[in-house]
Homo-oligomer: A and B are copies of this chain.
Amino acid sequence: MIEEKGILFILSGPSGVGKGTVRKALFEQDTNLKYSISMTTRSKREGERDGVDYFFRTHDEFKEMIQQRKLLEYAEYVGNYYGTPKQYVEKMIEDGHDVFLEIEVQGAMQVKENFPQGVFIFLIPPSLEELKNRIQDRGTESEDLISSRLEEARNEIEMMDAYDYVVVNDDVMNAVSKVQSIVQGEHCKKERVIKQYKSLLEVEKE
């Protein structure tokens, strides 16, 4: 049996850009993506299920996962650990599912180190678009405001350099449509299709 492998998509971006909103809207549309389930040391809340909402682990278990480098990324937040188990993601991908991870910029950089074959999408606020308009209609804003906007833009450009795609979150459904296109387009990339068929021909030769 030759199966097409899945792809890990990572959606990240500056805090407050609307990553969670885009992710929710995306999952209301698209059922082929599997949302990556996080591992955490925080207590299970009423109604939460292990392996569905989170993988619930003790502090010791989590620390062992860190030491054994079994996490694609992790962070501590108000005394608890949160992370993405590598084996779970790899299993899903091997089984042909696309996995979707929505995460802060720091975490995305950890994933980039541990799973560089992922597809990294940077969500940016429409301020860059606004900036563009502002520069185009020069003279309508103060020098100071323009220079602070440019500084912001420079920082964002530096951050986006580590990513494969940049999506402007001007409108949630626009952003969702772009992410969906990126997912479908990535599956059509020659490298992926060739790999698939080459392995097909290899199998037959055996």
- A residues near B (Cβ < 8 Å) are 1-2, 121-122, 128, 131-132, 135-136, 146, 150, 153-154, 157, 160-161, 163-167, 177-178, 180-186, 188-190, 193-194, 197-198, 200-201, 203-204
Contacts and interface: CB of A to CB of B under 8 A. Distances in A.
16 contacts: A132-B197, A132-B200, A135-B200, A135-B203, A153-B197, A157-B194, A157-B201, A165-B185, A165-B189, A166-B193, A167-B188, A178-B188, A181-B182, A181-B184, A181-B188, A182-B184
B204 A160 contact: no
Contacts of A201: 150, 153-154, 157
A179 to B, nearest CB: 9
Contacts of A180: 181
A128 B199 CA distance: 12
Contact of A163 (B154, B183, B190): B190
A184 B128 CA distance: 19
Contacts of A190: 122, 160-161, 163-166
A189 to B, nearest CB: 6
Given A178-B184, A185-B181, A188-B167, A197 B157 contact: yes
Contacts of A136: 1-2
Nearest to A185: B185
Contacts of A204: 135, 146, 150
Contacts of A182: 181, 184-185, 188
Which of A2, A121, A181, A188 gathers the greatest number of chain B CB atoms within 10 Å? A188
